[in-house]
């Protein structure tokens, strides 16, 4: 379902500069009828609530290559890229900014070999008439190491598309200095007369990285009016991948503002909190590390969009991350991930990706068939619990996993 009107944002959010990369209409939301049917349990002593599952297709959100969630983040970064004195935050632990002397000439970013983010940055660069340099780390996660053909893994999927887009690719191992510090590469480019604009992996460390999904929260809230959501009238549970963190953080900040405005305008009593569930996709760091990071990103986005009042404060209670589906490593396809890929394809005709969305689908179905949603429905007097699965794209990486997904 697509809303026919543009997303309406309150001030000061609506005053933040944004460059459209997405389609003018919102990415569609549609029902997943088969998953809805199999996730609603057979009544026993009393009728169970209906679990109604929907998908928001961020993989259909942009005309540029390999549409996915990073384009939504990049929309708020492009105005800085195109300014006469762009700034960029080099690293999480280097909070100072360095202004460029003139418009950027090349976008530089980083990621794993099969990074969706690098492809979307490269496509954006070409769309803006800029060059692109992507730094790919073979040792991020275990995709390269666990492949039966590492040589093919390093050439197919998103690597192949980066080449097709004309991006310069530099590949590193974990022990290469550039794998953890891009400053020498940026200095090299500056010495060669380029003006490089640095976009950290996933765009999350960029100070504007959370705004795109704060906007998405308002878009989803408008689309809720067009969906058959029963008495709840909204999505009670929203499932999304949590990698670098700013996608789920932006949703937390955005919905905090959406719901506070709705309560202030039309409701006499608070509603039950929305459940925004970030499904972690890597076991490299403990859940507490990701929770703190997401909270920090959500608060940063909240300040920019106008969440400054104490009653709108974002706290750790707003951050719900689930680390039960991370598997053996980032980019490693385990049996649970493979089953989720197959189930979504065979029941709904939807292709997921093996790194992010398949793990989200596995987590979502676990929740849908467990006790959490039943208890939520009973506590809030609901006969229908509405679940939204956010498909963030990534299918282009599938060919690199030719030996593990079927």
Among candidates 403, 405, 398, which has minimal Cα distance to 159? 398
Backbone angles phi, psi at 99, to 5 degrees: -70, 140
Catalytic entry in 3, 27, 39, 115: 115
Cβ-contact 322, 363 below 8 angstroms: yes
Residue for token digits 């993989």?
59
Cβ-contact 85, 101 below 8 angstroms: yes
Q: Maximum Cα–Cα distance for the chain, whole Å?
A: 73
Task: Decide if 115 is catalytic.
Answer: yes
DSSP code for 43: P
Helix (H) or strand (E) holding 294: helix 287-305
Distance CA 171, CA 185 (A): 12
Residue 180 is encoded by which pair of tokens? Answer: 């953890």
Rama region for 327: left / alpha / beta (φ>0; ψ in -120 to 50; rest): left
Residue 360 is encoded by which pair of tokens? Answer: 């989200």
Give the chain's end-to-end CA distance (angstroms, integer): 31
What are the residue numbers of the active site?
A: 115
């Amino acid at each position: 379902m697509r809303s026919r009107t543009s997303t309406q944002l309150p001030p000061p959010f609506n005053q933040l500069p944004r460059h459209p990369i997405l389609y003018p209409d919102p990415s569609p939301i549609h029902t997943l009828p088969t998953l809805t049917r199999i996730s609603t349990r057979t009544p026993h002593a009393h009728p169970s609530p209906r679990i109604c599952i929907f998908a928001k297709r961020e993989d259909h959100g942009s005309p540029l290559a390999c549409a996915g969630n990073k384009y939504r983040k990049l929309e708020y970064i492009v105005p800085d890229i195109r300014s006469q004195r762009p700034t960029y935050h080099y690293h999480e632990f280097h909070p100072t900014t360095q202004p460029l002397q003139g418009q950027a000439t090349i976008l530089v970013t980083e990621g794993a070999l099969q990074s969706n983010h690098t492809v979307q940055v490269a496509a954006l660069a070409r769309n803006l008439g800029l060059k692109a340099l992507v730094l790919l780390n073979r040792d991020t996660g275990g995709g390269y190491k666990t492949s039966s053909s590492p040589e093919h893994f390093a050439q197919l999927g998103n690597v192949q598309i980066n080449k097709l887009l004309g991006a310069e690719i530099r590949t590193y191992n974990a022990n290469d200095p550039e794998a953890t510090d891009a400053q020498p590469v940026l200095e090299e480019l500056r010495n060669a007369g380029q003006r490089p604009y640095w976009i950290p992996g996933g765009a999350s460390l960029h100070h504007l990285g959370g705004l795109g999904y704060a906007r998405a929260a308002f878009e989803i809230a408008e689309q809720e009016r067009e969906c058959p959501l029963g008495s709840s009238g909204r999505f009670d549970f929203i499932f999304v991948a949590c990698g670098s963190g700013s996608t789920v953080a932006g949703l937390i900040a955005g919905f905090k503002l959406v719901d506070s405005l709705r309560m202030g305008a039309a409701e006499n009593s608070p509603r039950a909190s929305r459940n925004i569930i970030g499904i972690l996709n890597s076991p490299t760091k403990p859940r507490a590390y990701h929770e703190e990071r997401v909270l920090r990103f959500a608060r940063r986005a909240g300040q920019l969009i106008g969440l400054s009042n104490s009653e709108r404060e974002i706290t750790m209670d707003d951050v719900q991350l689930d680390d039960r589906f991370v598997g053996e490593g980032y980019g490693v396809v385990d049996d649970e991930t493979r089953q989720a890929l197959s189930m979504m394809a065979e029941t709904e005709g939807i292709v997921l990706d093996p790194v992010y969305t398949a793990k989200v689908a596995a987590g979502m179905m676990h929740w849908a068939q467990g006790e959490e949603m039943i208890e939520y429905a009973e506590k809030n007097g609901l006969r229908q619990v509405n679940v939204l699965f956010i498909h963030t794209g990534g299918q282009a990486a599938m060919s690199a996993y030719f030996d593990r997904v079927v």
